[in-house]
Amino acid sequence: MKLKVYTDGGARGNPGPAAIGAIAYDFEGREVFRISEYIGEATNNQAEYKALLKAMEKVRALETEEAEFFLDSELIVKQLNREYKVKNKELQPLFVKIYNYSLDFKKIGFKHIRRENNKEADSLVNRALDSRN
């Protein structure tokens, strides 16, 4: 099975209350899973990484060998594609875990998309944040 996975993370304040969202589709466009979860205090970048990490855990549990991950954080995508170094000490362990997970895939990709093309994942983040109030 091949999957397309859209992930997003966000914090209200930076750092502040944070949440993650993800939605996965097979290549026929059928939804496979969705994630909407409050994660406590985090920065926006930490939330972005944690959303991807949680989605990767789900994908690995499905024993999927090929996946494309779509994020609206250009910084995170460039770090994952090793165009930028991960200098932030809080993000380094998350990066390493994602890198190690990526080794389990036959084919994996991390692609940057515009925010308006990631509305579903973004709405899952906001739903989790709003449910905390």
Total domain count for the chain? 1
What range does the domain containing 45 cover? 2-130
Interhelix angle 92-102/44-61, rounded to 10 degrees, is 20
CA-to-CA dists, residue 33 to 47, 49, 69, angstroms: 19, 18, 14
Q: pLDDT confidence of 132, banded at 50, 70, 90? A: confident
Q: How far apart are CA 67 and CA 6, in angstroms?
A: 11
Q: Find the CATH number of the domain harbouring 57.
A: 3.30.420.10
Q: What are the pLDDT digits (tens) for 22-75?
A: 999 999 999 999 999 999 999 999 999 999 999 999 999 999 999 999 999 999
pTM: 0.96
